């Protein structure tokens, strides 16, 4: 078990576990956290997992851990690691089972006070239009050929089918499509799971949330993003559903043999990996991109459904109910990027698991209107607490591979939350605070209680204080739809 004395304090927001801590570490582990946040994870295994991750072949720089860290499969949630391309490795566990789990934010010109009495109806409409729950199927029935198109085209698939606009695609990470996806590298079982689930929310910590922009911290950036204090916004948080989960499952199983073939020694088999330039590594990368594109398309369809709900409930009430895309960004992804390391630009595969890309101003790949402010970063809290909109910084590019936090981060397992929190009581408490809840089950609601998560304000204060993200706006929930 890790101890505070095992870590070197860099400053108020940064700590480091040096390579001397364990003989098999290839790089140090840099932790972005306050002492209080760090102490809160000492009894679980996220830091031990970060040290294990520091043994992966081909690592460059440092393994990074964000303040929303918690224990994951092999690799900590909130972790970032970069391996040399093409001779480093890629690890499915360092990307996660829900490939391209991410967040889409939509803004509006609807004033909260003008529609406060319609929010309950809006929550019901969103729940109706956006299917949620474990294994739920949607209204879209894809053939295998159509699924393959989704895998290759991502959010662009929705453009010709009326689910997307050009403006939507422009304001997505990678413009909604990762190149290099190959559905032929995806198993039939994954395709069976993926065909009926496009346009569905799922369960767990996934949600659709109506928020009010509570406070602006950077007026120029907020204006550029289309966010106004006192106006409604919508967050959509979900990923690649059973499709991506099956792809990760398939390749974790396959990579168990790969580490033997390539003589890779690991302290934890959950970190199984393969060389990026190997047939196995290339196949996983192509399949992962297919899942990522599925997730981009999934959030695009859900955004279309959210717009239908707004039109139904508010169309005759306000002049402009339309939801405008702010940004869509992933927080479970492996990306081939160039970063400056020890003064040299190096091409790497950046694994981000429960961590958000946070590229600074002027970075390639940003919409022209966002180039001056940096990449938008979307940090949802739990359903009873705030969420945040941030932007990336120049410091994030040099110190964290252009990465920052992705949410609040769990402090209580789902099992423990269900045992200690009563769903009925939680529902009444949230409703009494003016948050309209639509949930598939009360036990599922209890799993995602605010008490099960860290203080998202403290997490954001940490990444802001460390300089790897900049505050733009704080959002307050007024309606939440969960599976």
pLDDT given at position 87: 92
Bridge partners of 390, per DSSP, are 377, 471
Residue 74 is predicted with a pLDDT of 96
- In the prediction, which pLDDT does 59 show? 98
Distance separating alpha carbons of residues 203 and 135, to the nearest angstrom: 8
Instruction: Please give the backbone phi and psi of residue 93, each rounded to the nearest 5 degrees, phi first.
Output: -65, -20
State residue 441's pLDDT score: 86
Burial of residue 338 (number of CB atoms within 10 Å: 0-12, 13-18, 19+): exposed
C-beta neighbour count of 167 within 10 angstroms:
10
Tokens of 68: 């929303």
Residue of 331, 351, 406, 436 marked catalytic: 406
Q: What domains appear along the chain, each with residue ranges and CATH number? A: 4-90+98-411+453-482 (3.90.1860.10)
Which among 477, 481, 475 is positioned nearest to 216, based on CA atoms?
Answer: 475
Q: Residue 440's pLDDT is what?
A: 85
Half-sphere exposure (Cβ direction) of 382: Cα atoms closer than 13 Å: 23
What is the pLDDT, as a whole number, of residue 131? 86
Q: The tokens of 139 are what?
A: 């209204």
DSSP-assigned letter for residue 384: T
* HSE toward the beta carbon, residue 151, CA cutoff 13 A: 29
Task: Render 260-299 in DSSP notation, one character per residue.
Answer: HHTT---S-GGG--EETTSHHHHHHHHHHHHHHHHHHHHH
Name, in order, each residue with C-beta under 8 angstroms of 117's C-beta and a sequence gap of 6 or more: none
- Give the Cβ contact number of residue 263 at 10 Å: 6
- According to the model, what pLDDT value does residue 398 have? 94
**Token representation of residue 318:** 């306000």
**Distance, CA of 298 to CA of 132 (rounded, Å):** 12
Token pair 């033997």 in the structure block, residue = 260
Beta bridge partners of 209: 235, 480
Contact 55, 259 (CB under 8 A): no
Q: Is 2 left (phi over 0), alpha (psi -120 to 50) or beta?
A: beta
DSSP 8-state class, residue 359: -
Distance of alpha carbon 443 from alpha carbon 448, whole angstroms: 9
What pLDDT score was predicted for residue 286? 98
The residue to which tokens 């120049």 are assigned: 394
Whether this model's pTM surpasses 0.95: yes
Q: Is 344 helix (H, G, I), strand (E, B) or coil?
A: strand
Position 483 scores a pLDDT of 77
pLDDT along the chain (483 residues), means of 10: 91 98 98 96 94 98 97 97 97 98 98 97 96 84 96 96 97 98 98 96 93 98 98 98 98 97 96 98 98 98 98 92 98 97 94 98 96 98 94 97 96 89 92 93 90 95 98 98 87
Annotation marks residue 406 as catalytic: yes
Do the beta carbons of residue 409 and residue 69 sit within 8 Å? Answer: yes
The pLDDT score that the predictor gives to residue 409 is 93
User: What one-character DSSP code corresponds to residue 322?
Assistant: P
* Whole-number pLDDT of residue 429: 93
Burial (0-12, 13-18, 19+ Cβ within 10 Å), 62: buried
**Are 239 and 331 in contact, with CB atoms under 8 Å apart?**
no
């Amino acid at each position: 078990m890790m101890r505070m004395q095992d870590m070197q304090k860099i400053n108020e927001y940064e700590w480091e576990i040096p390579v001397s801590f364990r003989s098999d570490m290839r790089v140090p582990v840099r932790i972005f956290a306050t002492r209080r946040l760090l102490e809160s994870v000492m009894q679980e295994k996220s830091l031990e997992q970060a040290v294990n991750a520091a043994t992966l072949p081909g690592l460059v720089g440092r393994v990074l851990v964000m303040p929303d860290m918690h224990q994951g499969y092999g690799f900590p949630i909130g972790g970032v690691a970069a391996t040399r391309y093409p001779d480093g490795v890629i690890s499915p566990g360092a990307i996660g089972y829900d490939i391209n789990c991410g967040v889409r934010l939509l803004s509006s010109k609807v004033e909260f006070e003008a529609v406060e009495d319609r929010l309950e109806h809006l929550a019901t409409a969103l729940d109706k239009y956006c299917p949620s729950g474990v294994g739920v199927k949607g209204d879209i029935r894809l053939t295998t050929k159509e699924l393959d198109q989704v895998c290759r085209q991502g959010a662009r698939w929705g453009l010709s089918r009326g689910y997307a606009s050009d403006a939507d695609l422009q304001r997505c990470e990678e413009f909604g499509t990762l190149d290099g996806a190959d559905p032929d590298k995806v198993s039939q079982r994954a395709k069976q799971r993926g065909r009926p689930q496009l346009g569905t929310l799922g369960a767990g910590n996934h949600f659709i949330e109506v928020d009010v922009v509570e406070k602006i911290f950077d007026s120029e950036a907020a204006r550029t993003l289309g966010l106004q204090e006192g106006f409604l916004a919508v967050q959509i948080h979900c990923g690649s559903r059973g499709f991506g989960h099956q792809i990760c499952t398939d390749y974790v199983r396959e990579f168990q043999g790969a580490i033997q073939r390539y003589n890779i020694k690991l302290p934890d088999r959950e970190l199984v990996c393969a060389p990026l330039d190997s047939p196995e590594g290339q196949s996983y990368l192509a399949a992962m991109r297919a899942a990522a594109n599925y997730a981009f398309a999934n959030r695009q369809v859900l955004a279309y459904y959210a717009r239908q709900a707004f039109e139904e409930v508010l169309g005759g009430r306000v002049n402009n109910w339309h939801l405008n895309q702010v940004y869509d960004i992933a927080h479970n992804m492996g990306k081939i990027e160039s970063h400056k390391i020890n003064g040299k630009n190096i091409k790497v595969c950046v694994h981000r698991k429960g961590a958000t890309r946070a590229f600074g101003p002027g970075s390639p790949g940003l919409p022209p209107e966002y180039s001056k402010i940096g990449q938008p970063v979307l940090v949802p809290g739990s359903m009873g607490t705030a969420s945040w909109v941030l932007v990336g910084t120049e410091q994030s590019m040099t110190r964290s591979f252009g990465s920052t936090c992705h949410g609040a981060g769990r402090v209580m397992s789902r099992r423990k939350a269900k045992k200690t929190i009563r769903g009925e009581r939680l529902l009444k408490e949230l409703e009494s605070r003016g948050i309209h809840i639509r949930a598939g089950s009360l036990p599922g609601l209890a799993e995602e209680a605010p008490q099960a998560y860290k203080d998202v304000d403290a997490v954001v204060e940490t990444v802001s204080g460390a300089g790897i993200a900049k505050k733009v706006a704080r959002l307050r929930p007024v309606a939440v739809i969960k599976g």
